[in-house]
Every structure is written in C-alpha cells, then in structure tokens.
Amino acid sequence: MSAPAATTPAGGVAASEPLLCARGLIKRFGGFVAVSNVDVDVHAGHITAMIGPNGAGKSTVINLLSGALLPTKGSVTIGGQSIVGRGSHEVARMGVARTFQTPRLFDGLSVGESMMLPRALFAKSSYLECFVHSPRTRKDEAGGWESALDWLSFVGLADVAEMPMSALPVGSQRLVEVARALALEPDIVLLDEPAAGLDHTETERLARLIEQIAQSGIGVLLVEHDMHLVMSVADTVVVLDAGVCIATGTATAVSEDPTVIEAYLGVVNDKGAGEVKDV
Ligand SMILES: Nc1ncnc2c1ncn2[C@@H]1O[C@H](COP(=O)(O)OP(=O)(O)O)[C@@H](O)[C@H]1O
Ligand SMILES: [Mg+2]
C-alpha cells in the first residue's frame, strides 16, 4: 500500500491458521437470540464477506469480534489469544480495527483530526505530558497529522482533511471510516457495510481498496449488502439468516446454494441458479 507500511500478521501464527477465529458464538438480548452458534474465520490477506438480510445479526457479530459486546457463549481468539471480556480498546490494541455501519461524525473535529483519534491508543505521551503539551506530545501530534494525511490519500480524500466530517457526503464519510480503521495499522479490519451510500464509481474504487488492504496482508471481514461487491472481492462468504449461519463457502458456491438463494439472494430459476440481486 502507498500509505504506511503493510502490517504483519499477529506474531507466531502460521499462514494457514486463521488470525481471528470465532467458534459457537451466541448473543442473546434478553430472550431474543440475535446470533446463534456462528463460526467465523478471518485469515491474513484474505477477504471473508458476511451477508444476510437486515436483522440477520451481522453487525452484532462485528460487535462481538471487536470486543464491543460480550458473547453470551462462544469463543473469539486472535493469534490464539482469547479476546472475550477484554473490551474494544484492548481488542484494537491486539490488532483489530473496525468501521461502523453509521459513520461517526465527531462533532467539532475536522476529518484529519478525527483520523488522529486512533493514534491516542498508541501515543507515547503520558497524561501529564499531554496536559503541558510537551515536546513528545507535539511530536505525537505532528506524526499523527502526517499519518492521517497518508491514510486519507490512500482512500482518495486527502483534500478534505480540514473539513468537518458532517460536511462530507455519506459515501466519503464511509471512506474516512475505512481510513481511520487503517490508521490503527491493524492485522484485521472489520468493515460494516462500507459501500452503503456509495455510487457505482465509489463502490468500484472501494472494491480495489479492499483488495489492496488484503494484499498488504491484513485479514478483512466485509459485512455488505452490495452483492456485486461481495462477489467481486470475497475469498469466502458466510451467510447469516435470523442469526444462524446457513452457508459458508466461496462466492460462487454460496451463490449457487439453494438454501441461500431461497433465504436471501432471490428466487430459484428453473435451472436451479439464483439471481443475485442487491438488497
Ligand atoms: N443492543 C441490542 N438490543 C436488543 N436487540 C438488538 C441489539 N442489537 C441488535 N439487536 C437485534 O438483533 C438483531 C440483529 O441485529 P443486527 O446485528 O444489527 O443485524 P444486521 O446487522 O444483520 O442487520 C436485530 O433483530 C436487532 O434488532
Ligand atoms: Mg448491520
């Protein structure tokens, strides 16, 4: 990638082992089961897509994998270490970055300033040094701004660094979310519907960005409704329906699976093949 150096997978994990491994994930909200016994693997340099109708449990899975929610049951490991109960900041420090389905606007901050927030997780300055604005704090800030501009350039948005997030169209806000996640220099990124609100050209650009992210060695989990995007970039597709995983396989295998076609992709035609449609 042209932006800061490609990251390496979490230490000591063989290339064939998943970086992130979730098994038997269950999440209940009161009596309602939002996620039921779901397994997900994210491999370094691979793109795993998660699809399913609205309410299928996709964002809940991202919340479970990023430490934002505790699973009712099940395990999530990164590089063999459990993340359950660690909280989202610690999980981020372990190499997992995410975007949000609704982009965060950070009222009062420019796009570039909002890009510097992830670096606070790694800042070397102590609280006191920040308070007195010490030389080390100023160095952290200067490096943060440079890095913010690099990552904004990577998603094609360097020219909006000084603008407030709320002034951007939603498509650009989503791309800033992707850039902000990458600024953490993660081993894994979890992208929650990054193409929602993007036009055709922006979606094509996003597809190439996601491929570049994976080529740099980062493991990608892509939650997405845009089936053309999923089919064009995903190595593996996991299909959720009402919290249950109904299929896992290559994009082609999944798109020809009658259960998936019936539940999600469209009606089965007389040759048994489903028509892929955006939902
Ligand atoms: N914090 C919550 N409390 C109660 N129910 C929730 C909560 N978060 C999600 N849900 C419910 O869980 C189901 C799955 O939601 P979600 O993961 O957002 O689906 P998706 O992202 O696939 O559209 C939905 O029925 C949603 O209303
Ligand atoms: Mg969602």
pLDDT at 30: 95
What is the number of the ligand closest to the CA of 63? 1
Ligand 1 in reach of 62 Cβ (< 6 A): no
User: pLDDT tens digits, residue range 215-249?
Assistant: 999 999 999 988 889 999 999 999 999 999 999 99
In a domain? residue 279: no
In a domain? residue 175: no
User: pLDDT tens digits, residue range 70-87?
Assistant: 999 999 999 999 999 999
User: How many domains does the chain fold into?
Assistant: 1
In a domain? residue 138: no
pLDDT at 264: 74
Report pTM. Answer: 0.86
Ligand 1 in reach of 237 Cβ (< 6 A): no
Ligand 1 in reach of 16 Cβ (< 6 A): no
Tokens describing residue 2: 């042209």
Q: Which residues of the chain have pLDDT under 50?
A: 1-2, 4-14, 268-279
> Can you give the residue range of the structural domain that contains 239?
20-105+186-265
What ligand 1 atom has the least distance to the C-alpha of 53? 22
In a domain? residue 178: no
What ligand 1 atom has the least distance to the C-alpha of 223? 21
Ligand 1 in reach of 60 Cβ (< 6 A): yes
In a domain? residue 272: no
pLDDT at 255: 87
CATH number of the domain to which 258 belongs: 3.40.50.300
In a domain? residue 41: yes
Q: How many angstroms does the Cα of residue 148 sit away from the middle of ligand 2?
A: 27
